[in-house]
């Protein structure tokens, strides 16, 4: 599965570079949130790869992966999607979530670790943290992932239907983003349910769909002179 992990890492950093370059050319809230979300995602898959290459997690790598990937792999991508349509709503939601984001960071940084609970020393699973509870990071992944996935998939589906006749290329791109959100969410859900072994394939496939979707949507928006 190592080639799939390498593919996911390469595509993630390429997608972050593409989006951050777009933000530098046209600063906006949605481009800033997309860039932050893709940076976190790239850090998460890179941490996974390093753990596999060295044969196990270090405490720092595990906590980094958990916060950037398991907890917030789609949070900021979802907020970026909302900001594309409703910037004020996205700004208000981000402000409302800020205390919870900081609380989640505190929990990930301070919760005790027991790597012996992992099936393999490098398994990307939250099982090394205490069982889900109010003060366990494992509980807080659920609302963040659910919110991010719903926003990301919902906006992608809406824009796909909206542009289906007006701009077929952009609709194809947002349809791929919608599928990427479903694939990444399904991978995380299966992982949380204890189904291991699909992480590398799921993340590689999901980020490949996301990359193609963003490239198509970005190209069509540039051709049409619209927002990207």
- pLDDT tens-place string over residues 98-145: 999 999 999 999 999 999 998 889 888 888 999 888 889 989 988 998
Check: CB of residue 220 under 8 Å from CB of residue 176: no
Check: CB of residue 130 under 8 Å from CB of residue 166: no
The predicted structure's pLDDT at residue 193: 59
**Residue 214 tokens, joined:** 């963003």
* Verdict on whether the full-model pTM lies above 0.75: yes
The predicted structure's pLDDT at residue 195: 59
Instruction: Show the 3-state SS of 156-190.
Output: HHHHHHHHCCCCHHHHHHHHHHHHHHHHHHHHHHH
Alpha carbon distance 169, 131 (integer Å): 45
Q: How is the chain split into domains, by residue range?
A: 2-224
- The residues, any chain, with a CB within 8 Å of residue 163's CB and separated by 6 or more, are 170, 171, 174
Q: pLDDT band at residue 4, thresholds of 50, 70 and 90? A: confident
Q: pLDDT band at residue 194, thresholds of 50, 70 and 90? A: low
Closest of 130, 161, 126, 172 to residue 145, by C-alpha: 126
Residue 225 has pLDDT above 60, yes or no: no
Domain 2-224 maps to which CATH number in 3.40.50, 2.60.40, 1.20.1070, 1.20.120? Answer: 1.20.1070
Q: pLDDT band at residue 224, thresholds of 50, 70 and 90? A: low
How much is the average pLDDT of 78-82?
93
Residue 74 has pLDDT above 60, yes or no: yes
What percent of the chain is predicted at pLDDT more than 90? 47
The predicted structure's pLDDT at residue 196: 58
């Amino acid at each position: 599965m190592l080639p799939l992990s390498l593919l996911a890492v390469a595509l993630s950093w390429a997608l972050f570079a593409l989006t951050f370059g777009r933000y530098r050319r046209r600063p906006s809230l949605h481009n800033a949130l997309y860039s932050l979300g893709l940076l976190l995602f790239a850090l998460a898959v890179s941490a996974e790869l390093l753990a596999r290459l060295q044969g196990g997690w270090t405490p720092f790598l595990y906590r980094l992966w958990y916060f950037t990937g398991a907890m917030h792999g789609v949070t900021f991508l979802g907020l970026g999607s909302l900001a594309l349509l409703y910037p004020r709503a996205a700004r208000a939601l981000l402000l409302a979530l800020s205390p919870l984001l900081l609380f989640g960071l505190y929990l990930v940084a301070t919760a005790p670790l027991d790597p012996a609970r992992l099936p393999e020393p490098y398994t990307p699973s939250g099982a090394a943290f205490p069982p889900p509870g109010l003060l366990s990071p494992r509980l807080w992944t659920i609302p963040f992932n659910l919110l991010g996935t719903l926003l990301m998939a919902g906006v992608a589906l809406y824009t796909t239907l909206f542009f289906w006749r007006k701009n077929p290329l952009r609709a194809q791109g947002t349809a791929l983003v919608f599928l990427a959100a479903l694939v990444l969410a399904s991978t995380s859900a299966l992982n949380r349910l204890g189904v291991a072994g699909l992480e590398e394939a799921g993340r590689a496939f999901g980020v490949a769909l996301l990359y193609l979707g963003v490239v198509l949507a970005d190209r069509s928006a540039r051709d049409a002179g619209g927002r990207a």
